[in-house]
Amino acid sequence: MKKNKQLNLYFSEQPELAKKKKNDDGRNNIIISFFIIFFLIICLRLVFLGFERKTFVGTKNYEGLFYERRDIVDNQGSILAKNISTFDLVLRKNKVKNFDNVLLKVKLNFPEVNINYIKLNYKEKNTLVLKKNLSPSDYNKITNLGEPSLELFKREIRIYPHKNLFAHILGKTDSDNYGISGIEMYMDDQLRDKSKVNIPVQLSLNTNIQYSIHEELMKGVKDFSAIGAAAILMDANTGKIISMVSLPDADNNLRNSNELKNNLSRATKGLYELGSVFKTFAIASALENKVISKDTIFSNLRNRVYCGKFPIDEYRWDKSKRELTVQQILVKSSNIGTIEIVKKNGLENQQKFLEKLEIFDMPRLEISELSKSNKNRWGKCNTLTSAYGHGVNTTLLQLTRAYAAIVNGGVLLDSSILLNRKLNKKRVISKETSVIMNQMLRANVDKKNKTSGSGRKADIVGYDVLGKTGTAQKPSKKEKGYSKEILNVFASAFPSKKPKYVLTVLIDEPKGAPQIWKHSRREAGWNAVYIAGKIIRKIGPSLAINDLDLLNNYASHTKNN
């Protein structure tokens, strides 16, 4: 019986022990679960803080709006201007706990930052921009510092991969990404259009040709010790500009540089008296009015004539200039002969024709740096001297447009650097007059012509170049009248039978180059023409690739020679 009782006692106590153990396990599980959940919360928070950059990196604008801008590309799609992301270092006043400690950190890590600027402006401003466009090493310094009051603000900045190659055309933006010059300023609203931010603005310019012309022009400035130069290559039948260079220039990526502001665009902004290239217009007007032909003879031409009390002299006069045909007047660049043509044509017709060519109007181009001629009122003497480009000024761009109209069949086109823009046009001379002018302008360049003129150094085989030079004294800056410094121009086109391209080259204050010519003459035929010839030889093959007429013309000349 005892054994049974003991057994009963043993078995009767077992359920209570099991129940107690079960309750203890439940409490333990709850406590463990609580600690696990708490641990997970802490871990997640740490992970979240590790990825969160609100304390150190901001995206909100702190002064103004940093707009995105559309890319600018050339006619082949190569990038000319593009936005990239950058970071600025900013001090946030409301997050500063120890001002002296923050100043010490800034001074140690960024010694270039002006500490006095921070002290002077700290009380008045809630946000201070300490440094813009941080380098990767500066970026890492900030993230490693862990100072809540020093923040990185992301924004957009404009870059120009080709640096100074398109300096005067593209212009630049300011630190807030607003256009302040060039096409960046002219098309600022379109370039900041958010609905088109992924659609680039495509220009008619060609980077490879721009590079070649820029290179040859740089060499020319050096060879002739000039103070500057410019060149424009235009499609004579569309008005689209393929290349436009002005020297000196500057790297548009240098935001703090004032170099470009001090170097005006000699292609679009500079106003110049361009000399004998204007004889082309005087002769074209007289031909159009049928008062002369290219074979009309002018006899008894003198060395000097007078307009009132003012003398008009022949340049390098000799007996061969006593009797000249119209073509010879152009080729020998006779001042007196051209004046006689204007007299025969009528002063009013000369005035109207230059105005019809819009020589004195404000150029129409998609950049901000443009100039309008400050021509005085017409008078007899002023009209006569305008026939050889004296006493009237204009831009190289307007000269290029006018020359395109003379050689392309007589149609004056608006100019543009936008690839797909439709342009206005108007007829200024007949096709017949244009053909005759091309023949005479070709005679001025053609080496095979025994009486060829000042353009022969641009007679590049295969391209049938035509053109006219201009050598003009520059007005004096100190007193009335003219200085001894000169400005030279060569206006050309090719091929002569069906001109497709107009190339104008301007050299400002060239010196003689005895190392090239063994003499020190400095007229346009010895510098502007020489440079134009080198440019045409260099860019001709590139143009011919996309121009069947030019390619066939070159192949024909190569075969015949």
DSSP of 363-376, one letter per residue? P--SSS--------
Please tell me whether residues 327 and 370 are part of one structural domain. Answer: yes
Please tell me whether residues 165 and 281 are part of one structural domain. Answer: no
Tell if the pTM clears 0.85, that is, is over it: no
pLDDT for residue 288 is more than 80: yes
Residue 185 falls inside a structural domain: yes
* Mean pLDDT (the chain, rounded): 87
The larger pLDDT score, comparing residue 523 to residue 19, is at 523
**pLDDT above 90 as % of the chain:** 60
Residue 57 falls inside a structural domain: no
User: Cis before residue 248, ω within 30 degrees of 0?
Assistant: yes
Please tell me whether residues 185 and 217 are part of one structural domain. Answer: no
Confidence of residue 10 (pLDDT cuts 50, 70, 90): very low
Please tell me whether residues 149 and 270 are part of one structural domain. Answer: no
Please tell me whether residues 348 and 371 are part of one structural domain. Answer: yes
Length of the chain in terms of residues written: 561
Q: Are 74 and 206 within 8 A, CB to CB?
A: yes
- Determine how β-strand 57-58 pairs with β-strand 304-307: unpaired
Query: From start to end of 435-511, where are the E strands?
Result: 466-475, 482-494, 501-508
Confidence of residue 1 (pLDDT cuts 50, 70, 90): very low
Please tell me whether residues 327 and 354 are part of one structural domain. Answer: yes
Question: CATH number for the domain including 448?
Answer: 3.40.710.10
pLDDT tens for each residue of 27-41: 777 777 777 787 777
Q: Are 298 and 341 within 8 A, CB to CB?
A: yes
Indicate the helix (H) or strand (E) that contains 102: helix 99-109
Rounded mean pLDDT, 358-384: 91
* 28-32, 59-63, 407-411: which is most confident: 407-411
Residue 254 falls inside a structural domain: no
Please tell me whether residues 197 and 277 are part of one structural domain. Answer: no
Q: Where are the alpha helices (DSSP H) in 332-430?
A: 335-345, 347-356, 380-386, 396-407
Question: CATH number for the domain including 86?
Answer: 3.90.1310.10
pLDDT tens for each residue of 513-556: 999 999 999 999 999 999 999 999 999 998 876 666 666 666 66
CB atoms within 10 A of CB 39: 10
pLDDT for residue 353 is more than 70: yes
Please tell me whether residues 243 and 128 are part of one structural domain. Answer: no
Q: Is 235 left (phi over 0), alpha (psi -120 to 50) or beta?
A: beta
Q: Are 464 and 497 within 8 A, CB to CB?
A: yes
Q: What is the pLDDT, as a whole number, of residue 6?
A: 46
Q: Whole domain around residue 524: which residue ranges?
A: 210-247+265-560
Please tell me whether residues 177 and 237 are part of one structural domain. Answer: no
Helix (H, G, I), strand (E, B), or coil: what is residue 233?
Answer: strand
Residue 108 falls inside a structural domain: yes
Residue 549 falls inside a structural domain: yes
Alpha-carbon distance of 192 to 176, in angstroms, equals 12
Number of domains forming the structure of the chain: 2
CB atoms within 10 A of CB 138: 17
DSSP 8-state code for residue 317:
-
pLDDT tens for each residue of 329-342: 999 999 999 999 99
Sequence letter at residue 521: R
The larger pLDDT score, comparing residue 187 to residue 16, is at 187
Q: Are 152 and 57 within 8 A, CB to CB?
A: yes
Residue 24 falls inside a structural domain: no
Please tell me whether residues 240 and 180 are part of one structural domain. Answer: no
Residue 357 falls inside a structural domain: yes
Rounded mean pLDDT, 302-318: 85
Rounded mean pLDDT, 478-488: 89
Please tell me whether residues 280 and 350 are part of one structural domain. Answer: yes
Alpha-carbon distance of 162 to 178, in angstroms, equals 20
Residue 31 falls inside a structural domain: no
Please tell me whether residues 143 and 281 are part of one structural domain. Answer: no
The larger pLDDT score, comparing residue 377 to residue 468, is at 468
pLDDT tens for each residue of 216-274: 999 999 999 999 999 999 999 999 999 999 999 999 988 665 555 557 899 999 999 99
pLDDT tens for each residue of 45-54: 666 655 544 4
Q: At what angle do helices 528-545 and 207-223 cross, to 10 degrees?
A: 160
Q: Which residues contact 497 (CB under 8 A, 6 or more apart)?
A: 438, 464, 553
